[in-house]
Amino acid sequence: MNLEAPAADHDRTRRGARAALGLAGGLADFLLTLAITLFGLLVVTFVIGRVVPIDPVLAVVGDRASGAVYDRVRAEMGLDLPLIEQFRIYFMKAITGDFGRSVLTTNPVIEDIRRYFPATIELATLGTLIGTLIGVPLGVFAAVRSGTLMDQIVRIVGLVGYSVPIFWLGLMALLLFYAHLGWVGGPGRLDIAYDYLVTPTTGLLLVDSLMQGQMDVFWNAFSHIILPAALLGYFSLAYISRMTRALVLNELAQEYVVTARIKGLSEARVVWRHALRNAAVPLLTVIVLSYATLLEGSVLTETVFAWPGIGSYITSSLQNADMNAVLGGTLIVGAAFVTLNLLSDLLYRLLDPRTR
């Protein structure tokens, strides 16, 4: 009678149960951390809205309004209530997506965000793709040829991407590739002749134009997005290539790589099939964090290229003392950044059993 098989099955069941509990615990930690962080973000945006030297009532009524009108609007906005009560109202509205109305556009802020945020998502997504497709191979080549001229060139390229102000690069790129060479479209998301030819479905102009078969609109939109996306991609490339180099260098120093080389495996297979594969999990979290950074930090790029994204929306709202729009946009961008940040940590734990 074979007693080892039931024992082995029992061990596998116990290991599976422990793994399931570990994953469930990781997911619970993720949701709890996300809730606490988003609550903290709500507190921060509420405090910012109360301490900035901008009177939201004057932004609505103007500086020529009478005292009676000012007091009435202030009461309607709930600014005469105690701060605790103001925060309670702010919290209850925010979790339902009610950020009030924009003074600048007169629309509900959440509707403005739905209209502007897809443009930022499209720009950041393309920038991350460019940074990943170029940055990962560069980082691998730099790691394989550590200390050589190739390594130094990749590190200098990354250093320039970190050091040079992106708004200056944007202006120089517009001057060269748009004004002088005419290779790309100018500022904005689309030429005026192509406006309203595509019905917004996803809000992503490249996707919507392809779905609706509007190839002229697609290529015109692509000519406008490729330059700002390439600049964001360069910024992303600088970070991704540096991290890829460090991760692959660490893997190349491991014993399994030495063993693979002794067995006679080709260098390309050792690097791309083994070292890079083992570095893929932490590298994925690096790429997700880079994407979150582009979503949050593309304000200057959007301003230079007149890109109608959430960064431009927040900037123009701030210049016009439209605090509902500023706080709503800031909260959404912050929530996206926090969620992606925590999601990268959760993915790391899910994909790498050693971290559980």
Separation of alpha carbons 271 and 252, rounded Å: 8
Please provide the DSSP assignment of 196-232 as one string. TSS--SSS-HHHHHHHTT-HHHHHHHHHHHHHHHHHH
CATH topology of domain 118-305: MetI-like fold (1.10.3720)
Phi (first) and psi of residue 281, to 5 degrees: -65, -55
Extents of the domains making up the chain: 118-305
Enter the tokens of residue 27: 């997911």
Mean pLDDT, rounded, of the chain: 83
- Give the H/E segment covering residue 14: helix 4-51
Lowest mean pLDDT of 20-29, 39-48, 166-175, 316-325, name the range: 20-29
- Per cent of the chain over pLDDT 90 is 17
pLDDT tier at 319, thresholds 50, 70, 90: confident
Separation of alpha carbons 297 and 310, rounded Å: 10
pLDDT digits over 115-129, tens only? 999 999 999 999 999
At 69, the amino acid letter reads: V
Among 17, 56, 32, which Cα is nearest to 325's?
56
Separation of alpha carbons 132 and 287, rounded Å: 7
Range 343-348 average pLDDT: 76
Whether the predicted pLDDT of 138 surpasses 60: yes
- pLDDT at position 332: 86
Q: Are 318 and 296 a contacting pair, CB within 8 Å?
A: no
Separation of alpha carbons 302 and 85, rounded Å: 37
Range 1-24 average pLDDT: 58
Range 292-314 average pLDDT: 84
Question: Which has more confidence, 18 or 222?
Answer: 222
